[in-house]
Structure 1
Amino acid sequence: MYAGRGLVTLCESATMEGRGRKRMRRRRGGKGARRRRTRLRRGRRRRRRRRRRRRRRRRRRRRRRRRRRRRRRREEEEEEEEEEEEEEEEEEEEEEEEEEEEEDAYDVLAGGDGDVMGGERALAGMTARKRCTRGPKGNRKS
């Protein structure tokens, strides 16, 4: 088998036996051979073009998808970071409020006005409050 000429060996063997001359001519470089080659080439070209187009399309689609996914992931991460920052700020504010309330509770124990914490439950409220505000469900008062 030689590249670019199809089956040369077959033709040679045919001539040795004395038949199949047309076939041989077609495979070597005569007019019939040229026609045949162009026909084959046309088909190959079309196939190659189609393959290339398909590959390009696939590559483009993949690239687009990857880009979109990356963008979405980045946006989501940024949003999550922003949300986390907001939550941290809220927690800090809550802690400050808690500290103020604890101070008020001490005032009650010292004998200030009893309405700040709700009278007799001042002590209980103070101990419960520390436990309840930390955790997933946030600000539960008692």
Structure 2
Amino acid sequence: MFIETLGQNGQERCRVSEADCAAINDLLRQLNPKAGERTVEFIERQLEQINRNGGVAVIREKNGRIVAMGTWTVVPTLMRIEAFASEVSFDQQHPEWRRFLRELGQYIINRAKRAKAERIDLTWNQTRPGYKAFLELGFTEADTRLLRLVL
């Protein structure tokens, strides 16, 4: 098992295989069963933008199959440098999903620290598997409410 950031391997262009695309689609559907199918081209275009201020961290098994992923973004503001973790998903059927989630969370924390972020915001539901793993990594429930405007 190993962790990497998709598209940050020194290539001129972000490259994603068909197998990676299929695994990413499976993981995104765990977050939202209605999530549309992403193509290789779409994912590569998105990675070019995401990788400017963050990345998509993936955990691969020895055979190369992606079994967990999470997008992290660093955003400088006038008050602080903030990081956001989103689209964190993992193969819930895999016997080692808890370890994957802890290692993925720690990877995102380390990347945010390297970027000098003061905090990481993560939207997670107590009913979703893995909530306790994030608490063990040091995440706490914020005392604010998230407001969202769907455009």
Assess same fold via TM > 0.5.
Answer: no
Q: Which structure shows the bigger proportion of residues in helix conformation?
A: 1
TM-score under structure 2 length normalisation: 0.19
TM-score with structure 1 setting the length: 0.20
Q: Which structure's residues are more often strand, by fraction?
A: 2
Identify which of structures 1 and 2 has the higher relative contact order when contacts are C-alpha pairs closer than 8 Å and 6+ apart.
2
